[in-house]
């Protein structure tokens, strides 16, 4: 028996190529693309302007399958988090953050993460696998339906998700091809039609992949900086040992040549007594003289056995003031959804960790649900 093809795995070019193998013209692919993504349609029988014979063939040979929710949690502040089943006893998380003038969906790119940043709960869970393009874009597809933003959802309405950030579980640029396919769907006018300025990829600093992204699909870029010098960043963000700050900042400047925004966002988690001193802020001022940037200061969101504490509000204000007095834009991220573990750095899901083994060599599944 032939396994049906998941059409969510394709951008428009891939879908055109697949339809060509069926002897179908490109406009059919674009029709189906619009039904899937604009309308949130999951059933080929509902695609009323597609020929009946093609619908029947699609019913036989294809599916529209997104990850399915295992848990749907809503914070007191309206933040909504979904734990999504991606098979193999793994789950990932996606978070919707409603605000007055925009709605932001934070999505995952991997089941777990191999980079092991010391302050991130996802990194502590280890790494299992990359998500497919369909599993990545499927988070946006599903969220639109569950939020009632498409006709297939709870109630048709205007665009609820205006921004997408790839800041969920995983390092997006370590899953480059699948992430780029999903990005192209987000930007495609036949699908979601999002502006490049409203789609952000966050990276810990994989320099060669940053250069590739600049060439093939430049969207807004956020870099997880978290330290102003190599000695400290080596400890907090281990990828820095391979791509130190000099190489990272040079890559940021190259990226700006094609970026939809004229600045890089540097994300900086505020860790009490670790990276939050006045001297650290002054080092960041020197970095800002090298790269057009703004800083997003992120109060640390604690998780069990992290070994870190959140900087005090007073310390964060002082840190921000030093940057502002130097003429640097620095915002402090609001802590959203921490009562459902949806805040920055808290996403963990349930990941089959291949980096940790029992004495018998059997993989261990960390019990990440104990903190929910």
Burial (0-12, 13-18, 19+ Cβ within 10 Å), 209: buried
pLDDT of residue 116: 84
Active site residue 344: yes
CB atoms < 10 A from the CB of 318, how many?
A: 15
The gap between the terminal CA atoms of the chain, to the nearest Å, is 41
Catalytic residue among 24, 41, 93, 217: 93
* 8 A C-beta contact, residue 35 and residue 50: yes
Q: Helices in 147-270 by DSSP H: which ranges? A: 176-187, 207-216, 230-236, 245-256
Using CA atoms, how far apart are residues 151 and 157, in angstroms rounded to an integer?
Answer: 8
Q: How confident is the model at residue 122 (pLDDT cuts 50, 70, 90)?
A: confident
What's the pLDDT tens digit per position in 305-325?
A: 888 999 999 999 999 999 999
What string of H, E and C letters represents the secondary structure of 312-336? Answer: CHHHHHHHHHHHHHCCCCEEECCCC
pLDDT of residue 365: 28
Which CATH number is correct for 5-63, 3.30.420.40, 2.40.50.150, 3.40.190.10, 1.10.150.530? 1.10.150.530
Q: Give me the chain's average pLDDT, please.
A: 88
Q: What is the percent of the chain with per-residue pLDDT over 70, rounded to a whole number?
A: 87
Overall fold of domain 68-371: TIM Barrel (3.20.20)
Q: How confident is the model at residue 154 (pLDDT cuts 50, 70, 90)?
A: very low
Indicate where the chain has its CATH 3.20.20.70 domain(s). 68-371
| Helix, coil or strand: residue 140 | helix
Longest CA pairwise span in the chain (Å): 69
Active site residue 314: no
Using CA atoms, how far apart are residues 279 and 293, in angstroms rounded to an integer?
Answer: 19
Catalytic residue among 113, 117, 293, 344: 344
Least confident of 59-68, 92-101, 145-154, 175-184: 145-154
Indicate where the chain has its CATH 1.10.150.530 domain(s). 5-63
Q: How confident is the model at residue 158 (pLDDT cuts 50, 70, 90)?
A: low
* 8 A C-beta contact, residue 339 and residue 76: yes
Would you say residue 355 has pLDDT above 70?
A: no
* 8 A C-beta contact, residue 33 and residue 58: no
What's the pLDDT tens digit per position in 16-43?
A: 999 999 999 999 999 999 999 999 999 9
DSSP assignment of 32-57, as one string? HHIIIIIS----GGG-TTS-HHHHHH
pLDDT of residue 124: 76
Those residues whose C-beta lies under 8 Å from the C-beta of residue 116, and which sit 6 or more positions away, are 123, 124, 238
pTM of the model: 0.88
Closest CA to 131 of 69, 71, 175, 181: 175
């Amino acid at each position: 028996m032939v396994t049906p093809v998941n059409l969510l795995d394709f951008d428009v070019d891939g879908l055109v190529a697949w339809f060509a193998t069926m002897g179908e013209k490109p406009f059919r692919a674009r029709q189906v693309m619009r039904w899937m993504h604009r309308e949130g349609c999951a059933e080929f029988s509902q695609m009323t302007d597609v020929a009946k014979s093609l619908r029947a063939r699609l019913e036989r040979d294809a599916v529209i399958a997104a990850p399915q929710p295992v848990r749907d949690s809503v914070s007191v502040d309206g933040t909504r988090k979904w734990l999504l089943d991606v098979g193999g006893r793994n789950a990932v998380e996606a978070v919707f953050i409603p605000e007055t003038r925009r709605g932001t969906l934070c999505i995952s790119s991997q089941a777990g993460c191999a980079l092991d940043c010391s302050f991130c709960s996802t990194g502590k869970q280890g790494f299992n696998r990359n998500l497919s393009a369909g599993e990545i874009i499927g988070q946006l597809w599903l969220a639109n339906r569950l939020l009632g933003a498409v006709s297939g959802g709870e109630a048709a309405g205007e665009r609820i998700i205006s921004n997408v950030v790839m800041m969920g579980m995983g390092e997006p640029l370590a899953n480059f091809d699948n992430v780029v396919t999903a990005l192209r769907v987000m930007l495609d006018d036949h699908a979601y039609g999002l502006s490049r300025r409203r789609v952000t990829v966050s990276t810990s600093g994989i320099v060669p992949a940053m250069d590739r992204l600049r060439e093939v699909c430049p969207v807004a870029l956020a870099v997880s900086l978290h330290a102003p010098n190599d000695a400290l960043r080596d400890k907090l963000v281990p990828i820095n040992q391979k791509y130190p700050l000099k190489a990272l900042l040079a890559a940021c400047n190259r990226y700006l040549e094609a970026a939809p925004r004229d600045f890089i966002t540097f994300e900086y988690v505020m860790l009490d007594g670790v990276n939050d001193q006045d001297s650290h802020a002054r080092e960041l001022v020197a970095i800002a003289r090298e790269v057009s940037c703004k800083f997003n200061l992120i109060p640390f969101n604690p998780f069990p056995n992290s070994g870190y504490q959140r900087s005090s509000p007073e310390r964060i204000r002082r840190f921000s003031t030093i940057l502002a007095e130097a003429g640097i834009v620095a915002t402090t991220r609001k802590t959203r959804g921490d009562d459902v573990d949806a805040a920055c750095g808290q996403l963990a899901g349930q990941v089959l960790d291949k980096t940790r083994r029992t004495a018998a060599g059997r993989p261990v599944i960390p019990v990440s649900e104990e903190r929910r």
